[in-house]
Amino acid sequence: MTADHGAWSELVAGYALDALEPEDEVALARHLPACAQCTAELRAHREALAHLAHASAPLTPPPSLLEGIRAAVSAESPDAFAPRSPAGAPPAPVVDLAERRRRRVSRPQALAAAAASVAVATVALLGVQNADLRNDRQDTGQLTALQEAVAALEAEPGRTVPMTGLDGEVTAFAVVHDDQLNLVLDGVQANDADDSVYVLWGQPNGERAVALATFDVSTADRVAVVRDVALPAELRTDLHVLAVTLEQGRTAPVQSSQQAVVSATVPA
């Protein structure tokens, strides 16, 4: 890149921010149609600013950035931010045109630094948004796997009962048939298969809960499925509550004292 073209690149940054002086703006507008490099640079600046404008949260540049820009411009052109002379003041001294041009170029240099800072901030912000997007895709994949498992279990007629976790979110489904049920769980932590076990409980209305099945959840289980759990005769017509607890030991206790990991009231 030649020194002359470097000056054009500096003007491009100011043009993207709508901050050029009229003469420089006209000159650049005439230059752009014949210069592919400047056109590409202008497009890149505008894309960065567009990403910033549509960010999920406002990105406010720190005061130190603005002060640094002002200091840099003032160092090159001390009158850049000076107030205009009041009416009746003595005329400004004659300034050599070459010197005036040098001062004009110095301001786009500072604007180029500002545009570069904005671009860096935009890249950081987009990195955060991309990370959020990856997490959203992972969550969507997990939800899809849960839906697919439930759909497979619903192949035979039955009642689908959503079950909520401690946070109130639906993280499991029971598909209840006449004499058995199937259970699908999502996001339940793995248990230690040596000294703990998950227990599925069924409770008739007004009666004590009955242990229906025990099962383990491993770290490899994206969605845990417990199939073909037999329902005792008393629960086939009066299944009021379903719940899952994590118990110590490898067998289901007669009665649980643990808080339910997921639970649901089964509609009549």
Averaged pLDDT score across all residues of the chain: 73
| DSSP per position, 162-182 | EEEETTS-EEEEEEE-SSEEE
Considering the domain architecture, whether residues 21 and 76 belong to the same structural domain is answered as yes
Considering the domain architecture, whether residues 111 and 188 belong to the same structural domain is answered as no
- Residue 32 maps to a domain: yes
Considering the domain architecture, whether residues 163 and 127 belong to the same structural domain is answered as no
CATH number at residue 185: 2.60.40
For residue 67, the model assigns a pLDDT of: 67
DSSP-derived pairing of the beta strands 241-248 and 196-203: antiparallel
- Residue 177 maps to a domain: yes
Parent domain of 69: 3-84+95-133
- Residue 62 maps to a domain: yes
Tokens 């200091």 — which residue? Answer: 71
- Residue 224 maps to a domain: yes
Phi, psi of 257 (to 5 degrees): -110, 10
262 DSSP 8-state letter: E
Considering the domain architecture, whether residues 222 and 189 belong to the same structural domain is answered as yes
- Residue 147 maps to a domain: no
Considering the domain architecture, whether residues 36 and 121 belong to the same structural domain is answered as yes
- 215 φ/ψ sector (left φ>0, alpha ψ -120 to 50, else beta): beta
- Residue 240 maps to a domain: yes
Contact 11, 39 (CB under 8 A): no
Summarised one tens digit per residue, pLDDT across range 177-218 is: 889 999 999 888 999 999 999 999 999 998 999 999 999 999
For residue 201, the model assigns a pLDDT of: 97
Confidence check: pLDDT of 227 > 50:
yes
Confidence of residue 21 (pLDDT cuts 50, 70, 90): confident
- Residue 89 maps to a domain: no
Q: 19 burial class (0-12, 13-18, 19+ CB within 10 angstroms)? A: middle
Q: What is the pTM of this model?
A: 0.47
Considering the domain architecture, whether residues 71 and 183 belong to the same structural domain is answered as no
Confidence check: pLDDT of 138 > 50:
no
Considering the domain architecture, whether residues 252 and 170 belong to the same structural domain is answered as yes
Considering the domain architecture, whether residues 125 and 195 belong to the same structural domain is answered as no
> What percent of the chain has pLDDT above 70?
58
- Domains: count for the chain: 2
- Residue 27 maps to a domain: yes
Residue 181: which of 208, 205, 210, 154 has the closest Cα?
154
- Token readout for 176 is 């209840």
For residue 267, the model assigns a pLDDT of: 87
Considering the domain architecture, whether residues 104 and 197 belong to the same structural domain is answered as no
Look at 74-88, 136-150, 188-202, 244-258 and tell me which has the smallest mean pLDDT.
74-88
